[in-house]
Amino acid sequence: MTGTDGTARQRLVRRGLALEYTTLGWNVIGIGVLSVAAISARSVALAGFGLDSLIEIGASTVVIWELSGSGEDRRRRALQLIGVGFALLAVYLLGQSTWVLASGFRPRHSPLGIGWTAVTAAVMFALAAGKARTGAALDDPVLETEGRVTLLDGLLAAAVLLGLLLHSLAGLWWADPAAGYVLVSYALREVKEIFFGPPDER
What is the C-alpha to C-alpha distance for residues 50 and 103, in angstroms, rounded to an integer? 21
What is the C-alpha to C-alpha distance for residues 151 and 148, in angstroms, rounded to an integer? 5
Q: Is the pLDDT of residue 198 over 80?
A: no
pLDDT tens for each residue of 99-156: 878 877 777 788 999 999 999 999 999 999 999 999 999 999 889 988 988 998 898 8
Q: Is 3.30.70 the CATH number for 3-197? A: no
pTM of the model: 0.81
Q: Is the pLDDT of residue 45 over 80?
A: no
Q: What's the mean pLDDT when you consider all of the chain?
A: 86
What is the C-alpha to C-alpha distance for residues 197 and 201, in angstroms, rounded to an integer? 6
pLDDT tens for each residue of 162-181: 888 988 888 887 877 777 78
What is the C-alpha to C-alpha distance for residues 155 and 183, in angstroms, rounded to an integer? 8
Please answer whether residues 95 and 177 qualify as being in contact, where contact means their C-beta atoms are separated by less than 8 angstroms.
no
At 199, the pLDDT band (50, 70, 90 cuts) reads low
Query: Best-predicted range by mean pLDDT among 28-37, 95-104, 187-196?
Result: 28-37
How many alpha carbons fall within 13 Å on the CB side of residue 129? 5
At 4, the pLDDT band (50, 70, 90 cuts) reads low
Q: Is the pLDDT of residue 89 over 90?
A: no
Max intra-chain CA distance, the chain: 62
